[in-house]
Amino acid sequence: MMTSLVLTVIGPDKPGLVELLSQTIADNGGNWLESGMSRLAGKFAGILVVTVPAEGVEALEQALAGLQDKGLRVTAERSDEAGDSAALQPIRLDLVGHDKPGIVREISQALAARHINVERLRTELTSGSMSGEELFKAEASLMAPADLDLGELQQALEDIASDLMVDITLN
């Protein structure tokens, strides 16, 4: 029987970290399924899902813990991937507006109040081409209740800031 593990990794960014991680997983009978990784503020961070035979879980967890000596901190959580997504619909959300303190908190509150789950979120600040002011951009993959009123969600998000442009797409 295979066991799924969700791994989070973080360490100082340097060449070879993905190779080190993938080699450790392979050496311990694991299979790398999916991941998201990024370099932010001089750090390398990521999340990934691996499977490993049930009898090899402890050995893999110990080997991953040993990567701390090489500057890579890894945590592992077992996953059963259970859940009923039949009553949910996938939504893509794109936002652009002037940055302000608390904008991610306000957006996440609006989503949580409507029982919307954030599956992926990417945010960035960019310079506005004309004004030079910082623009906040967000791209999100969401899972929302099938009966969600998309127009009401769009209005709630646009109410967060007068200049916030919201694009909601059913996937």
Q: Where are the domains of the chain?
A: 2-79, 88-170
Q: Could you give the angle at the alpha carbon of 96 between the alpha carbons of 162 and 92, nearest 5°?
A: 115
pLDDT at residue 85, rounded to an integer: 58
In the CATH scheme, what architecture does the domain 2-79 have? 2-Layer Sandwich (3.30)
- Mean pLDDT in residue range 122-130: 85
pLDDT band of 169, cuts 50, 70, 90: confident
Residue % of the chain over a pLDDT of 70: 96
CATH class for the domain made up of 88-170? alpha beta
Q: What is the average pLDDT score of the chain? A: 91
pLDDT at residue 171, rounded to an integer: 67
- Which of 106, 32, 110, 28 minimizes the C-alpha distance to 63? 28
Quick check: 6 and 52 in contact, CB under 8 A?
no
The string of DSSP codes covering 98-163 is: E--TTHHHHHHHHHHHTTPEEEEEEEEEEE-TTT--EEEEEEEEEEEETT--HHHHHHHHHTT-TT
Tell me if 2-79 shares its fold with 88-170.
yes
29-64, pLDDT tens digit by residue? 999 999 999 999 999 999 999 999 999 999 999 999
How many residues can be counted in the chain?
171
66-97, pLDDT tens digit by residue? 999 999 999 999 997 655 556 889 999 999 98
